[in-house]
Amino acid sequence: MEYEGVVYRPPSEARSLILQVTIGCAHNSCTFCNMYKAKSFRIRTMEEIRADLDEVADSLYARMIRRVFLADGDALVLATDKLMEIISLIRERLPHIERITSYATAQDILRKTDEELKKLRAAGLEMVYLGAETGDDDLLKYINKGVTAAQIAEAGKKAKRCGMDVSVTLISGLGGRAHVREHALSCARLITEMNPAYCSFLTLRLYEGTPFYDDVVNGKFERITPDEIVDEMEIFLKNVDSPGTVFRSNHASNYVPLGGTFNEDIPALIEALEHAKKTKGYRRYREMGDLL
């Protein structure tokens, strides 16, 4: 099975079969993101998808595959009929599959009716990964996310009421020095309103060639230090109220690896942050730490 270009998946899909049903991201305009810049968005044909599935199904590993992640950047942009056809083909060729997931933008979720989402869920699309990044409207505009915080919240709630698990991703440090508090509080509001199954934070990384990178180089955006990232996370944790949400901030980009369940683990999470700050026990920020 040959992938087209670089393929991305959430950390929790490390053991999943990654099946490209689209190439690139239909939005492809967030100013911090370079994941799909090298790709022109297109929808793969059923023949291409079938060929991939046939190859996997005929391999020795087929019986071991339990999870499928639909790539690339926002597979939910596909028409519901096409997604249903893909899911049914996956089930036919890989009968041991237990879970199917995909990335989804808020726009994708809002474009579908409740009935369509329920149909997809019933067919096996168990979870969508929703990149919210922040709950602050000014910041969402700044990063050209293409949606407001209210729309993201509505999308998350909609997917949830249609039976899907929602995994929301936010970005530590996205507010820069000027908006630490606003960013943290807005993230807490967003998660409180959506009460998703999962919530995770990555830490802001810079990629040369993106508008966001240029803003940092030109002094328009001031990055914050690890201590300030910890402060921002503490503000978030002290204000979020989302019982049952599984929280993770343990991506390679995070200075302090954290994990727990809201709300009961919040005091322990804050304690871990304070300990890391006191001892400067930060993980090295590999991709961009020494850049600027």
Residues 25-54 that bind ligand SF4 (CB under 6 A): 25, 27-30, 33, 35-36
Closer CB to ligand SF4, 36 or 262, in the complex: 36
* Cβ proximity to ligand SF4, 73 vs 173, nearer residue: 73
Burial of 244 (0-12, 13-18, 19+ CB in 10 A): exposed
Residue placing its CB nearer to ligand SF4 in the complex, 28 or 263: 28
**Phi/psi of residue 69, nearest 5 degrees:** -110, 125
Nearer to ligand SF4, 76 or 83 (CB): 76
Residue 55 CB partners (closer than 8 Å, separation 6+): 1
The alpha carbon of 33 is separated from its chain's Cα centroid by a whole number of angstroms, namely 12
Pairwise CA distance, residues 40 & 37, whole Å: 8
Task: Among 22, 105, 167, 172, indicate the residue that binds ligand SF4 (CB under 6 A).
Answer: 105
Residue with the two structure tokens 């490390």: 14
Helix (H) or strand (E) segment spanning residue 231: helix 226-239
User: Which residue in this structure is represented by tokens 């990149």?
Assistant: 131
- Among 10, 131, 135, 175, which residue sits at the site for ligand SF4 (rule: CB under 6 A)? 131
- Touching ligand SF4, residues 207-236 (CB under 6 A): none
Least distance to ligand SF4 from the beta carbon of 29, Å? 6
Binding-site size, ligand SF4 (CB under 6 A): 12
Should residue 10 be labelled a site residue for ligand SF4 when binding is judged by CB under 6 A? Answer: no
Least distance in angstroms from the C-beta of 173 to ligand SF4: 15
Segment contacting ligand SF4 by CB under 6 A, of 22-30, 227-235, 240-248, 254-262: 22-30
Contact set with ligand SF4 (CB under 6 A):
25, 27-30, 33, 35-36, 73-74, 105, 131
